[in-house]
């Protein structure tokens, strides 16, 4: 069948079972958009307000479903506007395919109108990228891109397509998607045996789980593993939802803003089983003090992460789900009552606390958990509100907490919220924002309204850049350099101007009623929550300090 490059692209997307694309049209992708128009019954296109919003939406779609997120943008500024979203996905191992247009092949490298070296720009922040210079290579390139995005440690792949490639014709032959092989052949049986003996010999094992547990669909396997060996479990920010937040063995988040029970437990354990985590500096603090009494057993699919930040005693390289299945099949239930009692007492002695005399973000999040029965999908921007969302909303299922962990992208949450709501139309989807982060991409209110998405944005409005101010307060002698926003934006009027619904929250007594109303609206809702500018995220470990050296604040 003789087809144009644009037609081949659409057919290949159908091969990959793509049902949704996020994007923004432009001259270099006009032929692609023309074919999208003809295929609108099979592939839904969500037009965002900005390409960055589209990239974050594709990311949120991917994180909440496990499918590949797809985003499309035109050449030049369209492509460069995707860069932050691609980098966000890369840092957090999110499967995404970004499709960009470019000038015709004959004009490449000539500083043509809206030409940039998209492949060169994105090389450090993609698993792989392509520039297609022959239409005969297009179909195979697209198929390979989707495979690479999903296999091993997932991540974003970019395909740059010059405009003439979308016009040129070649023979198209339909193909089935290549199956992503989760084979365990590469896992050495001796490595498994050593790990099992370490687990059996341990008296005080502790499990530190990261985002890899969610990416490998291994949450059930982790639960069985923890219950079998009777070990407490802590999760990184990216691991939230990988282990049930209400489970008795769960100790809360680990690291800079982790619970004291988690940080002290890791410091006191004799075996630290690290599953699908990369030992971020925000987790380990002072590296030579991290888990200093423990043997470290690391299970991860990416060999580059082993011994990168923390020296391991033993490691297993391979798919986490398969590795845990094999380990679980070789273990009998264990009794570690004394150790579990010790950690449980830490949880009881050092609970998360906050002031209860006025409206706080922590109180709003606890009420949100009650009102939604813990079943909402939560997205976040980046800052204090992000940490509070990780601490005070309990995540009992994977793919229900979507946040920019590695890159720390302010403005991520609203786009991700749109993507997650599009992918999960029957779910309550809530974006937890700060007023600083929210303003970065609030133009996407227009997108939410256009598609009548019943999402909710909770703006924790302290009129400052809260997390930066917290550091200025603690480490810079209260020199608040350019972190005080002091802009009296009427968020209710702002929401209404876009066609959304707006609410103001100033009192604790209003919270439950407003949240219930927002859910019942079944359309975009912006809730402005007025909180104190000096509320802080506690506990906190100073950067570079040992993680058991914990500040608890007021």
Q: How many CB atoms lie within 10 A of CB 416?
A: 36
Provide the CATH number for the domain around residue 232: 3.40.50.1220
Residue 539 within a domain: no
Give SS3 for 300.
Answer: strand
Give SS3 for 474.
Answer: helix
Residue 86 within a domain: yes
Question: Quick one: tokens of 208?
Answer: 């530190």
162 in the same domain as 204: no
Catalytic residue among 114, 144, 230, 342: 114
Respond yes or no on whether the N-terminal peptide bond of residue 539 is cis (omega within 30° of 0): yes
144 in the same domain as 291: no
Question: Could you give the number of structural domains in the chain?
Answer: 3
Residue 201 within a domain: yes
Report CA-CA distances (Å) from 424 to 364, 377, 394, 421: 23, 9, 19, 5
Known catalytic residue at 163: yes
Residue 176 within a domain: no
CA distance 83 to 480: 30
213 in the same domain as 153: no
385 in the same domain as 497: yes
Of 387, 443, 449, nearest to 50 by C-alpha is 443
Question: Quick one: tokens of 224?
Answer: 């069985």
Supply the Cα-derived Rg of the chain in whole angstroms. Answer: 24
For 158, the enclosing helix (H) or strand (E) is: strand 156-162
Determine the pLDDT at residue 160.
Answer: 98
CA distance 525 to 548: 40
**Contact, 162 vs 102, CB < 8 A?**
yes
HSE of 490 in the Cβ direction (CA atoms, 13 Å)? 5
Final residue belonging to a domain, choices 309, 324, 349: 349
- For 231-254, b where at least 16 C-beta lie within 10 A, e where not — what string? bbbbbbbbbbbbbbbeeebbbbbb
Final residue belonging to a domain, choices 289, 317, 349: 349
Strands 314-317 and 429-434: unpaired
HSE of 25 in the Cβ direction (CA atoms, 13 Å)? 12
457 in the same domain as 345: no
Determine the pLDDT at residue 184.
Answer: 61
Known catalytic residue at 51: yes
CA distance 495 to 446: 9
Residue 400 within a domain: yes
Provide the CATH number for the domain around residue 51: 3.40.50.970
Q: How open is the CA angle 53-74-172, to the nearest 5 degrees?
A: 115
443 in the same domain as 520: yes
CA distance 44 to 73: 15
Of 262, 283, 350, nearest to 545 by C-alpha is 283
Determine the pLDDT at residue 457.
Answer: 98
HSE of 348 in the Cβ direction (CA atoms, 13 Å)? 7
Q: Which residues of the chain have pLDDT under 50?
A: none
CA distance 529 to 435: 10
Question: Quick one: tokens of 239?
Answer: 């691991």
Final residue belonging to a domain, choices 298, 328, 349: 349
259 in the same domain as 162: no
Residue 178 within a domain: no
Determine the pLDDT at residue 183.
Answer: 65
Determine the pLDDT at residue 185.
Answer: 65
DSSP 65-95: HSSPEEEEE-STHHHHTTHHHHHHHHHTT--
**Contact, 189 vs 159, CB < 8 A?**
no
Determine the pLDDT at residue 189.
Answer: 86
Catalytic residue among 347, 467, 472, 498: 467
**Contact, 48 vs 22, CB < 8 A?**
yes
Domain that includes residue 197, residue range: 189-349
pLDDT tens digits along 463-516: 999 999 999 999 999 999 999 997 789 999 999 999 999 999 999 999 999 999
497 in the same domain as 368: yes
Determine the pLDDT at residue 488.
Answer: 84
CA distance 234 to 154: 23
Burial class (CB in 10 A: 0-12, 13-18, 19+), 29: buried
Residue 299 within a domain: yes
Catalytic residue among 11, 35, 127, 163: 163
434 in the same domain as 505: yes
479 in the same domain as 345: no
488 in the same domain as 455: yes
Known catalytic residue at 16: no
Question: Quick one: tokens of 468?
Answer: 């930066």
**Contact, 15 vs 174, CB < 8 A?**
yes
Catalytic residue among 7, 16, 35, 51: 51
CA distance 144 to 163: 21
Catalytic residue among 1, 38, 42, 113: 113
338 in the same domain as 396: no
CA distance 424 to 63: 11
Predicted TM-score of the model (pTM): 0.96
Residue 458 within a domain: yes
Helix boundaries (H) for 73-188: 77-80, 83-91, 118-122, 138-150, 163-167
């Amino acid at each position: 069948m003789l087809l144009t490059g644009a037609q081949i692209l659409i057919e290949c997307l159908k091969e990959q079972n793509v049902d949704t694309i996020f994007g923004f049209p432009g001259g270099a992708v006009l032929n692609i958009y023309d074919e999208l128009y003809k295929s609108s019954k099979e592939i839904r296109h969500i037009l965002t307000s900005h390409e960055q919003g589209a990239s974050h939406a594709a990311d949120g779609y991917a994180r909440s479903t496990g499918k590949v997120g797809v985003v499309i943008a035109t050449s030049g500024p369209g492509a460069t506007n995707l860069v932050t979203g691609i980098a966000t996905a890369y840092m957090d191992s999110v499967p995404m395919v970004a499709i960009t247009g470019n000038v015709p092949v004959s004009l490449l490298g000539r500083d043509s109108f809206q030409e940039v070296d998209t492949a060169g720009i994105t090389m450090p922040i993609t698993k792989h990228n392509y520039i297609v210079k022959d239409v005969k290579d297009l179909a195979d390139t697209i198929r390979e891109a989707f495979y690479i995005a999903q296999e091993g440690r997932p991540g974003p792949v970019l395909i740059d397509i010059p405009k003439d490639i979308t016009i040129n014709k070649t023979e198209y032959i339909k193909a089935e998607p290549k199956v992503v092989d989760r084979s365990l052949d590469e896992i050495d049986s001796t490595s498994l045996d050593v790990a099992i003996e370490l687990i059996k010999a341990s008296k005080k094992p502790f499990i530190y789980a990261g985002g890899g547990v969610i990416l490998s669909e291994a949450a059930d396997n982790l639960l069985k593993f923890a219950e079998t060996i009777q070990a407490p479990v802590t999760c990184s920010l990216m691991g939230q939802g990988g282990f049930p937040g209400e489970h008795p063995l769960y100790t809360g988040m680990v690291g800079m803003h982790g619970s004291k029970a988690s940080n002290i437990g890791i410091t006191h354990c004799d075996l630290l089983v690290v599953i699908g985590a990369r030992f971020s500096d925000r987790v380990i603090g002072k590296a030579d003090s991290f888990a200093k009494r423990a043997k470290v057993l690391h299970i991860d699919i990416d060999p580059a992460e082993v011994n990168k930040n923390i020296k391991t005693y033993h490691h297993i390289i391979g798919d986490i789900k398969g590795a845990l299945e094999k380990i679980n099949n070789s273990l009998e239930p264990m009794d570690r009552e004394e150790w579990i009692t010790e950690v449980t007492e830490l949880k009881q002695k050092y609970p998360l606390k906050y002031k209860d005399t006025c409206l706080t973000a922590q109180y709003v999040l606890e009420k949100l958990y009650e009102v939604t029965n813990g079943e909402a999908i939560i997205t976040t921007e980046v800052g204090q509100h992000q940490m509070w969302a990780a601490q005070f909303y309990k995540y009992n299922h994977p793919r229900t907490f979507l946040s920019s962990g590695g890159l720390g992208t302010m403005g991520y949450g609203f786009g991700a919220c749109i993507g997650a709501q599009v992918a999960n139309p029957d779910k309550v989807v809530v974006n937890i924002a700060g007023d600083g982060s929210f303003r970065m991409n609030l133009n996407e209110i227009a997108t939410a309204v256009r598609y009548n998405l019943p999402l909710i944005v909770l703006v924790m409005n302290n009129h400052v850049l809260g997390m930066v101010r917290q550091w200025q307060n603690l480490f810079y002698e209260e020199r608040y350099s350019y972190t005080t926003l002091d802009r009296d934006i009427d968020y209710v009027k702002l929401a209404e101007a876009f066609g959304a619904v707006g609410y103001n929250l100033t009192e604790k007594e209003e919270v439950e009623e407003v949240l219930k109303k927002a859910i019942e609206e079944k359309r975009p809702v912006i809730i402005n929550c007025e909180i104190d500018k000096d509320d802080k995220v506690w506990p906190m470990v100073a950067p570079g300090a040992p993680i058991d050296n914990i500040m608890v604040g007021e």
